[in-house]
């Protein structure tokens, strides 16, 4: 097994910035906050899309270069900032994820430069799981609501008989429609037939070399949920800090 690349992404700053928001929510009950958080798990694989009626469906595929991971086609879904993404079908949902049948997935721009397009997954719904037809409303897949933000990732290549398997680990956090954050993790995998690990490394080390247009599948799950006691404790600390600031203001 060859561990080729790993990254630590700047999205962790988003999680840190969210801490004041958690403190600001102290006046809500811990039970309601926990209920609003995304919890559970789901699997996903490449969806399909077509730009015109009568055209064949185009399957969502993945391409790996030495320092990047991209998905195609990315011309159907586009958010308000013009960032494009690729449809995936969501299956085997549990918990809060039962309400979604599709998602959009964005590129890991660069393993080398610690950058990624976030949200990495944007959960929503389509008339048919993961399939986009002309005229379908894709807004829920590009609204920045119910998302998985990627904070670190890496990939490994292993030999499985005459084929290779590329496994991409995913670490990050889910943000619900109400802004509740839960830690999350998962994996993404794809295969290339009749190839050895040495051959794959040689291809990736070549300028513009890639393992291209491969089908993929993956899964993600929540790894921790805010505890009511922790939220209440945070509330107590926030209240003490606020009182302390007010008292200092009176003295001064």
Question: Quick check: is 213 in a domain?
Answer: yes
**Domain contains 134:** yes
The count of structural domains within the chain is 1
Token code pair at residue 34: 């926990």
pLDDT in tens, 108-139: 988 887 788 899 999 999 999 999 999 899 99
188 Cα distance to chain centroid: 11
Model confidence band, residue 5 (pLDDT cutoffs 50, 70, 90):
low
**How many beta carbons lie within 10 A of that of residue 61, not counting itself?**
17
User: In which residue are the tokens 């399939």 written?
Assistant: 131
- Tell me the percentage of the chain whose pLDDT exceeds 70: 75
Is 232 part of any domain? no
On whether residue 248 sits in a domain, the answer given is no
Query: Is there a domain that residue 241 lies in?
Result: no
> What mean pLDDT comes out for the span 217-230?
76
Q: For residue 240, is it within any domain?
A: no
User: Taking Cα atoms as reference points, which of 107, 109, 101 lies closest to residue 86?
Assistant: 107
pLDDT tens per residue across span 60-90? 999 999 999 999 998 889 988 888 999 999 9
The model's pLDDT over 182-199, given as tens digits with 9 standing for 90+, comes to 999 999 999 999 999 999
Dihedrals φ, ψ of 14, to 5°? -65, -40
pLDDT at position 209 over 70: yes
Range of the domain at 110: 2-227
Structure confidence by residue, pLDDT tens digits, 142-161: 999 999 999 999 999 999 99
Task: Tell whether 165 is covered by a domain.
Answer: yes
Nearest Cα to Cα of residue 123 among 162, 174, 76: 174
State the first-to-last Cα distance of the chain, in angstroms, to the nearest integer: 64
Per-residue pLDDT of 23-42, as tens digits, reads 344 334 444 445 589 999 99
Q: Hey, what are 173's tokens?
A: 């956090």
Could you tell me if residue 189 is inside a domain? Answer: yes
Q: Is the pLDDT of residue 244 over 70?
A: no
């Amino acid at each position: 097994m060859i561990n080729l690349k790993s990254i630590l992404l700047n999205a962790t700053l988003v999680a840190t910035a969210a801490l004041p928001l958690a403190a600001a929510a102290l006046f809500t009950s811990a039970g309601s906050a926990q209920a609003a958080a995304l919890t559970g798990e789901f699997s996903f694989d490449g969806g399909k899309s077509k730009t015109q009626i009568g055209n064949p469906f185009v399957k969502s595929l993945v391409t790996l270069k030495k320092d990047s991971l991209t998905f195609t086609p990315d011309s159907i879904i586009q958010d308000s900032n013009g960032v494009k993404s690729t449809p995936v079908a969501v299956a085997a949902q549990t918990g809060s994820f039962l309400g979604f049948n599709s998602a959009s997935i964005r590129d890991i721009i660069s393993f080398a430069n610690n950058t990624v397009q976030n949200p990495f997954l944007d959960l929503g719904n389509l008339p048919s799981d993961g399939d986009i037809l002309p005229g379908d409303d894709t807004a829920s897949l590009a609204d920045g609501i119910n998302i998985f933000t990627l904070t670190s990732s890496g990939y490994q290549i292993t030999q499985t008989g005459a084929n290779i398997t590329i496994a991409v680990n995913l670490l990050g956090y889910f943000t619900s429609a109400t802004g509740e954050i839960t830690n999350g993790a998962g994996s993404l995998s794809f295969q290339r037939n009749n190839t050895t690990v040495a051959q794959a490394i040689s291809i990736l080390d070549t300028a513009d070399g890639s393992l291209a247009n491969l089908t993929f599948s993956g899964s993600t799950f929540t790894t921790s949920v805010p505890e009511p006691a922790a939220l209440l404790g945070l509330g107590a600390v926030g209240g003490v800090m606020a009182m302390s600031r007010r008292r200092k203001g009176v003295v001064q």
